[in-house]
Structure 1
């Protein structure tokens, strides 16, 4: 795979960076979302036939990274065009593609994604949200709970991961359903977080939510294939989100280290300040390379290779982000904890990249038994 970005990618980075800079850290989410959509950035990964840019996750992750590096990340880009848009584009019916993809691309509609449950965090095999057929009408009836679902209050629908019974084996298998926000029996409760983010988190309840037969996305028997078609982009985009956040924090620290003078010289001239910042930059660049590899493999159709690389990218980016933010705060000293410099709020936000959408420990489990061939511990 190429390790040097194309001229088109470089131009896209510059254009998105300029957009992010215009909005800045105090950005209005709706305004930035709307402008990014008009410029074609939100749907850059979606098929041209449905109003998208015809690119891939490589381009979409680049957009999110640059917005994050400007201090204006759009978290719902991970969910709406990356997860939901990708799943519908790959597995949706023609009617579903016509209904959703153009609207996701132009930003007029958004979609949330619900997979995590109170008793089924990283273990998707323990999902208890079930979907059963009404034998008389052919409708689906969904029952269950989801937690930590982002942006449900602003989403037009939520792509819900449920489980249906395999008629041949009796075992439950994962399936994906589009649930409109106003569907009867579909409830939500805001989860108050100690996290500075414009997007809110919700707990969802599904109490005999009745959906038409065409609410099912893809093949009922495809199972994990369709699910991981959305989870791999989620990991890649989360890595880009973390890299952008780390770059933003690092840039603030570098500027401060150049301007803050003690003992007649900038503090950045001292190796105790300069070397940790250099190390943070190196870690972010290495994480970016793995993220680019993961995106390249995914866009090339290598789902297996992309799965490994996406997990590694998410792990590396999460670690690099936390270290970069921590070092930025440390560089600014007391100023690093003030609202004026705007870095302290990233201390909590950076930890999200370590624990969501999959914890670093589960990634290490994946690599140890999938890549290294070691016995499973669970």
Structure 2
């Protein structure tokens, strides 16, 4: 292991834990869990934002604490441990916020980052399309440059986005020109989702967290909404994918589901072999955790993520999440997984819900097959 938390980072963790376990936040957590399966945690985010904790890696001038992505990851980990929905936060601050930090102009940073840091605005990712899924080189959505007006008109259809219904912006990838390479000619825009011409519809999903379709029919945005340079969106997207594929979002789910299984089973383990299997899973979780933080630490040091290492981390964490859930169902049985008499579902969710969600983790942010292809190209040599 070549990663250790510093004293300051451990102190930051303790501060986060103390705030997340206050009566005010825990009461709000219980209320949003009861209100809707597809939880809306924005009230909690605003409390974190008031304390400057929602985006700790942002510069202080934009509402952060001048810390690193390590602290941002610690926040996500502890939110999950406390039963607070973290998906919208990961999309808004950890992924899109860092894309803006890395690729936006100063005026764009001044516009967007304070809103994301205080929890008043949230954002989602609009990449995938019906015919092409995660193959961003084949995007068909288009943005047409209205040069005389200083605006773009966007047309297209995006699918399988998360938390779109409670997001204020969508970071959208579109084609702005036809280049010889399909990876050229792409551009990114921050689109206000309340714009005229935006239609958002829910897509039926097995998961408790809904997926959404977004249709953009001539949505007009000014040229200041473009993140990065025109036709150079692929380089910006790669930065976003690097942060998205650290494995963090997948590890915290695997850990949450393991806690649900282990807490229930620890006083009722029938055999020594079962205890050994659970111990092996715990070791795998430790490996996933340190691999995730290694990827993030590399990003802090170099300003970029090792693409093959992030692919390994994402692959390992998402497949491990599935393994954890399957073991839970093997131990508990289907009927037991549908019931909850211990109060754990209210905090962590249920194994039945996890069973429906887990397979999707091996698809989002790039399928396991795509991760294996990346690893084979960059790590395996003849």
Equivalent position of 2:147 in the other structure: 135
The answer to whether structure 1 residue 150 and structure 2 residue 162 are counterparts is yes
Name the TM-score, length of structure 1 as normaliser: 0.88
Q: Aligned runs of 1:268-283 on 2, under 5 Å? A: 270-283=271-284
The answer to whether structure 1 residue 285 and structure 2 residue 286 are counterparts is yes
Q: Return the alpha-carbon distance in structure 2 between the equivalents of residues 109 and 221 of structure 1.
A: 27
Q: CA deviation at 1:329?
A: 3.4
Equivalent position of 1:70 in the other structure: 82
Q: CA deviation at 1:21?
A: 5.0
Q: CA separation of 1:126/1:168 partners in 2, compared to 1, >3 Å: closer, same or farther?
A: closer
1:207-226, CA deviations, whole angstroms, 9 ceiling, x for partnerless residues? 11111121111222533221
1:47-98, CA deviations, whole angstroms, 9 ceiling, x for partnerless residues? 2221112223322222212222333231012211122211111221222111
Q: Return the alpha-carbon distance in structure 2 between the equivalents of residues 5 and 327 of structure 1.
A: 31
Q: CA separation of 1:100/1:309 partners in 2, compared to 1, >3 Å: closer, same or farther?
A: same
Q: Return the alpha-carbon distance in structure 2 between the equivalents of residues 306 and 18 of structure 1.
A: 34
- The question of whether the paired residues in 2 share the 8 Å contact of 1:20 and 1:71 is answered with no
SS at match of 1:219: coil
Q: Aligned runs of 1:1-378 on 2, under 5 Å? A: 2-20=2-20, 23=26, 26=30, 28=32, 29-165=41-177, 172-197=184-209, 200-236=210-246, 239-260=247-268, 267=269, 270-303=271-304, 305-333=305-333, 334-340=335-341, 341-342=344-345, 343-344=350-351, 345-373=353-381
Structure 1: runs of 5 or more not aligned:
261-266
Q: Return the alpha-carbon distance in structure 2 between the equivalents of residues 271 and 135 of structure 1.
A: 71
- The question of whether the paired residues in 2 share the 8 Å contact of 1:50 and 1:102 is answered with yes
Q: Return the alpha-carbon distance in structure 2 between the equivalents of residues 328 and 167 of structure 1.
A: 49
Q: CA separation of 1:234/1:255 partners in 2, compared to 1, >3 Å: closer, same or farther?
A: same
1:185-238, CA deviations, whole angstroms, 9 ceiling, x for partnerless residues? 1211111222123xx3211111111111211112225332211111111122xx
- The question of whether the paired residues in 2 share the 8 Å contact of 1:116 and 1:148 is answered with yes
Q: Return the alpha-carbon distance in structure 2 between the equivalents of residues 140 and 325 of structure 1.
A: 45
- The question of whether the paired residues in 1 share the 8 Å contact of 2:137 and 2:182 is answered with no
Q: RMSD across aligned C-alpha pairs, in angstroms?
A: 2.4
Q: CA deviation at 1:166?
A: 6.1
Q: Return the alpha-carbon distance in structure 1 between the equivalents of residues 260 and 186 of structure 2.
A: 44
Q: Bigger shift: 109-118 or 182-191?
A: 182-191
Q: Return the alpha-carbon distance in structure 2 between the equivalents of residues 61 and 329 of structure 1.
A: 29
Q: Return the alpha-carbon distance in structure 2 between the equivalents of residues 32 and 273 of structure 1.
A: 38
1:143-198, CA deviations, whole angstroms, 9 ceiling, x for partnerless residues? 1110011222211111111111168999852211111122121211111222123x
Q: CA separation of 1:195/1:171 partners in 2, compared to 1, >3 Å: closer, same or farther?
A: closer
Q: CA separation of 1:258/1:83 partners in 2, compared to 1, >3 Å: closer, same or farther?
A: closer
Structure 2: runs of 5 or more not aligned:
33-40
Equivalent position of 2:37 in the other structure: none
Q: Return the alpha-carbon distance in structure 2 between the equivalents of residues 257 and 78 of structure 1.
A: 30
User: How many residue pairs align between the two structures?
Assistant: 362
Q: CA deviation at 1:360?
A: 0.7
Q: CA separation of 1:63/1:350 partners in 2, compared to 1, >3 Å: closer, same or farther?
A: farther
